[in-house]
Amino acid sequence: MTEPILRVHELTKHFPIRRGLFGRASATLRAVDGVSFDVHPGETVGIVGESGCGKSTLARTLMWLDEPTSGSVTFDGQPVSSGATDLLRRQMQIVFQDPYTSLPPRMTIGDIVADPIRIHGTHPESEIRSQVNRLLTEVGVSAQRAGQYPFQFSGGQRQRIGIARALAIEPRLLILDEAVSALDVSVQGQILNLLQDLQDQHGLAYLFISHDLGVVRYLSDRVLVMYLGKIVEEGPAEALYAKPHHPYTQALLSAVPTLRGRRSERVRLRGEPPKPTSPPSGCAFHPRCPMAQPICAKETPLLLPSGPGRRSACHFSGQLAGNG
Ligand X SMILES: Nc1ncnc2c1ncn2[C@@H]1O[C@H](COP(=O)(O)OP(=O)(O)OP(=O)(O)O)[C@@H](O)[C@H]1O
What residues make contact with ligand X under the rule CB under 6 A? 15, 29, 31, 49, 51-57, 211, 276
Q: Does 315 bind ligand SF4 (CB under 6 A)?
A: yes
Of 94, 207, 283, 303, the residue at the interface with ligand SF4 (CB under 6 A) is 283
Distance CA 126, CA 42 (A): 31
Q: Which of 73, 161, 180, 314 binds ligand SF4 (CB under 6 A)?
A: 314
Of 75, 153, 241, 285, the residue at the interface with ligand SF4 (CB under 6 A) is 285
- H/E element, 89: helix 86-90
Q: Binding segment for Mg ion among 14-22, 36-44, 52-60, 167-175 (CB under 5 A)?
A: 52-60
- The residue from 58, 207, 224, 296 that contacts ligand SF4 (CB under 6 A) is 296
Q: Does 57 bind Mg ion (CB under 5 A)?
A: no
DSSP assignment of 227-287, as one string?
ETTEEEEEEEHHHHHHS-SSHHHHHHHHTSB-TTSPBPPP-PPPSPPPPTTSPPSSSTTGG
Whole-angstrom Cα distance, residue 47 to residue 27? Answer: 27
C-beta of 20 vs 261, nearer to ligand X: 20
Q: To 5 degrees, how large is the angle CA 151–CA 154–CA 158?
A: 75
CA angle 116, 118, 120 (to 5 degrees): 65
306 binds Mg ion (CB under 5 A): no
In eight-state DSSP terms, residue 48 is E
Q: Distance between CA 71 and CA 37 in Å, rounded?
A: 12
Residue 31's binding partner out of ligand SF4, ligand X, Mg ion, none, with CB under 5 to 8 Å set by partner kind: ligand X
Is residue 56 a contact point for Mg ion (CB under 5 A)? yes
Judged by CB under 6 A, the residue of 71, 171, 301, 307 near ligand SF4 is: 301
Per-residue contact string for residues 226-265; x = within reach of ligand SF4 by CB under 6 A: --------------------xx------------------
> Which residues does 83 contact at the CB level (< 8 Å), separation at least 6?
none
Stretch of 20-28, 54-62, 100-108, 119-127 lying at the interface with Mg ion (CB under 5 A):
54-62
